[in-house]
Structure 1
Amino acid sequence: MPTESLYPKFNIPNTDLWGFLFERNDRPYPEEKIIYRDADTGRAYSYAQVKSTAIELGKGFKSVWEWRKGDVLALFTPNCIDTPAITWGVHWAGGVVSPANPGYTAEELAFQLKDSGAKALATQKPFLKVAVEAAAQAGIPEDRIILMGDEKDESMRFKHFSSIRNIAGTNRYRRTKAHPKNDLAFLVYSSGTTGHPKGVMLCHENIISNLLMLKAGEGTNLSWDGGPAGNGDNILAFLPFFHIYGLTCLICWSLYSGIALTVMSRFEIEKFCAIIQNHKITFAYVVPPVVLLLGKHPIIDKYDLSSLRMLNSGAAPLTQELVEAVYKRLKVPIKQGYGLSETSPTTHTQPWELWDKTVGSVGTLLPMQTAKYMSPEEKELPIGETGELWIKGPNVFKGYHNNPEGTKNALTEDGFFKTGDVGHQDKDGNFYITDRVKELIKYKGFQVPPAELEGLLISHPMVNDVAVIGIYNKDQATEVPRAYIVPKPGVEGSPKTANEIVQWLQAKVANHKRLRGGVKFVDEVPKSASGKILRRLLKVKAQEEEEKGQRAKL
């Protein structure tokens, strides 16, 4: 039988996201509470300022652009405290927000603009060149490109979003209400590890239900007016707002809960530490590469990070070795959570009190959901056996935009989403995610999870970072595991070092998990903005090395 969540069920209010956040009767904090603060400039928005800015902007969209229900605004920007107000201005006007990675090329951005059907684009001045080029490719006129952030366009060619506010004659406009189940709030794009990114359609009810799940999962541990200093918890926001993790868990969750968000435009390890020290940060959502730095980077010792009460890691599997290394160094506990763009995102989280008792687990199933692990033949597996995780709940997306085939392959007729992630659950209801279905290495019929080997290798004293992929070996007619390793400073990436690491791992794993593909030393491991290892880039690198080696033999 599928596993049901042990949390109490709740009623999902019949409203859209705007109504849920701004027309509620249960807001526990005052209107003047500061919600978003820029870590560099100190510029800030209170709850009341976010709401008034969004309403004025929504009226401006209707007046200047004749905004219609379902129209899409794309956001092409690093983290910015203007993002929430612009997002809810679009929602007030009945529109959809589609955030894009600010690292995109013009061609990559143009694909998302065209696929999403974006009617307008908001960006920042340093990103205008790419934005203009992409908008031209997508057929978006220049007067539909607006600026956000602190810099304005001196030439006045591009309007700042603030100029669309407070336009005379807009008081006649009224809010366009969205249907909670039928209308989209966000159209986010997957990281595109294979082919073009897919547009994930998230309706208003998806996001609302996930916020209520987060409320249940975090319980009373985080507070707008509590915390160690008595003036409320302070969350550090560096995870990208263009990713669903940042959209829901940072932008939406902070406004719903009233917990202050200190916003970094992008991650830098020393600035990250300085902000924690200076702003007395109490909590942060992180990803494994950041946990890795906290465990190994020498700069950490220069800062006082003692205000941190807890970290929550997501986006990729986190190993026991890493959690223990950070706690030993900083005495900061790290719990894990799990989710996907398609689930809005959070489906599981570790209870705070169990962070050190179920290390390696992503926690228990959050309320209103059902889950099961399935065999490759799509037969349900008993507790303890490894298979693909399937999830059902009100937070599961409506499908992939313009991609009926992808939707059909991802969603079953009875509403389960096939996550593509491999793992198992234990008898106490703790779930474990060990790898992606498509990333498992098949060695002579045995399955080798790369994340398991990475978790072991990262604990080696000579290893700073690592990624493991499968390499096809013609002589053995099978895939074999190979490790791409970033050595610690001062460690020579020599054949002797490689052999030492191979022998060290060999003593710790089963025969089929040995590094028969060897070790390659690299300057860095390629990763997405959300912290996922981009194994496809390493596979391309391996293929190039193979071809180069073959040419050398000729």
Structure 2
Amino acid sequence: MIVYEAPEWAPKLPDRPDHIPIGEFILNPAYGRVDPKVSNHPYVCGITGKSYSVDEVVERVEYAARAIKQILKVQDIHKGGPQTGFSEWEKVVGVFSVNCVDYLTLCYTVHRINGITSPASAAYSASELAYQLRDSQARVLFTCTPLLDTALEAAKAAGIPKENIFLLPVPDAITTEEMRRKAHGFKNFDDLVEEGKRMEKLVALRWDHGFSRKKIAFVSYSSGTSGLPKGVLISHFNMITNVLQMYLYSQSFREFSKPSNVLALLPQSHIYALVVINQTEPYAGNSAVILPKFDLSLFLTCIQRFKLAFLFLVPPLVIVMAKNKAIVDKYDISSVKYIMTGAAPLTEELSKELNQLYPGIKVVQGYGLTESSTVVCYTSGIDIWHGSSGCILPGIKCRIVNAEGRDVGEGEPGELLISADNVVLGYLNNQKANDETFITEHGARWLRTGDETIIKRSPAGNQHVFIVDRLKELIKTSGHQVAPAELEGHLLNHEKVADCAVIPVPHETAGETAKAYVVLKPGVAATEQTKLEIMKWVADHKSRYKRLGGGVEFTDIIPKSPSGKILRRLLRDKEKERRRAEGAKL
């Protein structure tokens, strides 16, 4: 067995508390967070500037928990073991909202009564949300004014009564008078806080040691690239572990003695934002400046106003910065020292381009999964290798296994397997997925990621993780494997291409070949000549088997998840329907 671990210079992962909720770990300086006197406002609204101090967040958690306890009729909330007559699954709260300053406060409130939080993507349709609410057994739903119509339709389908629907406060700037009118009569989180002030105090949580290792904090739903999304069971200890792993590793290149402001734009429902931005950064003493949606002007104004030092982005937003340099230059973004990308691969070409356009900003990349309660590896600022996802975090063991099940060494591709305390408990009500994803080998439990990966050694001597692509999305051409992400990164360097996605299509002799869906820049004509230029761009720079044998199709938009992942499945389905309509053999 060949095992890859954190570099020697990385701090060792110490023992962690396993008898407290994640919120207690983040907010209480007794567990290592930076003194609240240094950073007193963990969450700040990037539109209004509204924020709460750490002490105020703790108070709001306590007061709102009293009110939610009454709504759910919870008893015996202090016990750290099985609760007689009351299952934890009777205390599931769904959260369907855009980003806001009370999002994590609500999550910690639910945990305060031994409950479970189930965040849902704000991009969900009513049917998608209803599925998650039913699957997670949610009894209460928190939403926001802009999403109320969808929430009401989904809640009705899931059997959640109207009186169990509440609102999270969001800035008026993202609502309309009609939205506010419809929201009249619904209680919001502030109302519950005020009600809780008049209620009886809660008894303290008294969890036995080891309880947070098995106690579910979140049921987060995976992106569902095939079939329905799966509920991922994330324990409090899973999250405590990953927060500490990130914090310790980041000390190799970040200074935490002085607080800074970081961008919290990515959806708080997504594991990347939920753990890395909205929990690790406040634990490190920084303020997460929250934006509810992306708008280039709002984004740049926020950087300038709050002097953001660290931007957490996804590749589509990196593309926006790369393609709109003239607009970006109108704002003062000199405070930005680092950009971190995740949730989808950032190609070497795009990473280098951004670095050249903005030489004062270092570009780093991380890799993780919902099933690893986020980050597995992360670029350290002391050894940046463009295209790499960096080095493995402390306390994580990795293996690379080829198609024959053999462990392989540096430079050889294979599936990435992970064993660590941040690997989740499993999937909700899905034993088949559990058996396929979590395996026991060599006396350890391993998470099969499904990602094609190569370990390479950097010039500085550190082992770096390169994520090639999803195994099931690799294009198999005449025995060769072609990574869509590689071709997409190359296509984005073409002067006429604004965005793109690459998928496999059937080929008579090669089995499969690559086809590109391309969004052209404004003013570029969608002609056959343009298609030929783009195909030649690939043919001139890539191996013969990587050429666009399936051609180029122009489109207005590339479908993506809220976290920035290209939804190639939708394009593959579109291609199948087209071929079926033409009578082609599928």
Given the two structures, how large is their TM-score scaled by the length of structure 1? 0.94
State the SS of the aligned residue for 1:242: coil
Overall identity of the aligned pairs, in %: 35
Q: Which amino acid aligns with 1:351?
A: S
Answer yes or no: is 1:280 the counterpart of 2:280.
Answer: no
- CA contact 1:482–1:519 (8 Å) conserved in 2: yes
Answer yes or no: is 1:343 the counterpart of 2:385.
Answer: no
Which residue number corresponds to residue 460 of structure 1? Answer: 494
For residues 142 and 57 of structure 1, the distance between their equivalents in structure 2, rounded to whole angstroms, comes to: 19
- CA contact 2:389–2:464 (8 Å) conserved in 1: yes
For residues 275 and 105 of structure 1, the distance between their equivalents in structure 2, rounded to whole angstroms, comes to: 29
Answer yes or no: is 1:209 the counterpart of 2:246.
Answer: no
Answer yes or no: is 1:429 the counterpart of 2:463.
Answer: yes
Q: Residue 202 of structure 2 is aligned with which of 173, 188, 194?
A: 173
Which residue number corresponds to residue 61 of structure 1? Answer: 68
- CA contact 1:76–1:131 (8 Å) conserved in 2: yes
State the SS of the aligned residue for 1:430: strand
Deviations 1:445-482 (A, max 9, x none): 21111111111111111211111100113x33611101
Which residue number corresponds to residue 94 of structure 2? Answer: 74
Which residue number corresponds to residue 229 of structure 1? Answer: none
Answer yes or no: is 1:19 the counterpart of 2:52.
Answer: no
User: What does 1:53-132 align with in structure 2 at a 5 Å threshold?
Assistant: 53-67=60-74, 70=88, 71-132=91-152
Which residue number corresponds to residue 501 of structure 1? Answer: 534
Which residue number corresponds to residue 576 of structure 2? Answer: 543
- CA contact 1:64–1:164 (8 Å) conserved in 2: no
- CA contact 2:65–2:196 (8 Å) conserved in 1: no
For residues 155 and 214 of structure 1, the distance between their equivalents in structure 2, rounded to whole angstroms, comes to: 39
Q: Alpha carbons of 1:33 and 1:169: their partners in 2 closer, same or farther (altered >3 Å)? A: closer
State the SS of the aligned residue for 1:422: strand
Which residue number corresponds to residue 192 of structure 1? Answer: 224
Answer yes or no: is 1:313 the counterpart of 2:341.
Answer: yes
Q: Residue 293 of structure 2 is aligned with which of 266, 275, 284?
A: 266
Alpha-carbon RMSD: 1.9
In the TM superposition, residue 411 of structure 1 has moved relative to its aligned partner by 0.4
Q: Which amino acid aligns with 2:559?
A: P
For residues 255 and 9 of structure 1, the distance between their equivalents in structure 2, rounded to whole angstroms, comes to: 19
Q: Alpha carbons of 1:519 and 1:168: their partners in 2 closer, same or farther (altered >3 Å)? A: closer
Q: Alpha carbons of 1:268 and 1:154: their partners in 2 closer, same or farther (altered >3 Å)? A: closer
For residues 156 and 467 of structure 1, the distance between their equivalents in structure 2, rounded to whole angstroms, comes to: 43
Deviations 1:12-48 (A, max 9, x none): 2223213322444244323571221111111111111
Number of aligned residue pairs: give it. Answer: 543
Unaligned 5+ segments in structure 2 are 78-87, 173-179
Which residue number corresponds to residue 2 of structure 1? Answer: 3
Which residue number corresponds to residue 28 of structure 1? Answer: 34
Q: Which amino acid aligns with 1:434?
A: V
Deviations 1:279-304 (A, max 9, x none): 21110111110111111125223222
State the SS of the aligned residue for 1:167: helix
Which residue number corresponds to residue 384 of structure 1? Answer: 411
Q: Alpha carbons of 1:43 and 1:23: their partners in 2 closer, same or farther (altered >3 Å)? A: closer
Which residue number corresponds to residue 543 of structure 2? Answer: 510
Q: Alpha carbons of 1:411 and 1:492: their partners in 2 closer, same or farther (altered >3 Å)? A: same
State the SS of the aligned residue for 2:519: strand
State the SS of the aligned residue for 2:488: helix
State the SS of the aligned residue for 2:524: coil
User: What does 1:395-406 align with in structure 2 at a 5 Å threshold?
Assistant: 395-406=422-433
Q: Which amino acid aligns with 2:579?
A: E
Which residue number corresponds to residue 302 of structure 1? Answer: 330
For residues 159 and 415 of structure 1, the distance between their equivalents in structure 2, rounded to whole angstroms, comes to: 44
For residues 222 and 9 of structure 1, the distance between their equivalents in structure 2, rounded to whole angstroms, comes to: 18
For residues 364 and 416 of structure 1, the distance between their equivalents in structure 2, rounded to whole angstroms, comes to: 19
- CA contact 2:252–2:381 (8 Å) conserved in 1: no
Q: Alpha carbons of 1:177 and 1:141: their partners in 2 closer, same or farther (altered >3 Å)? A: farther
For residues 344 and 125 of structure 2, the distance between their equivalents in structure 1, rounded to whole angstroms, comes to: 25
Q: Which amino acid aligns with 1:460?
A: H
Given the two structures, how large is their TM-score scaled by the length of structure 2? 0.89
Q: Which amino acid aligns with 1:545?
A: R
Q: Which amino acid aligns with 2:54?
A: Y
For residues 154 and 194 of structure 1, the distance between their equivalents in structure 2, rounded to whole angstroms, comes to: 36
For residues 307 and 188 of structure 1, the distance between their equivalents in structure 2, rounded to whole angstroms, comes to: 33
In the TM superposition, residue 225 of structure 1 has moved relative to its aligned partner by 5.3
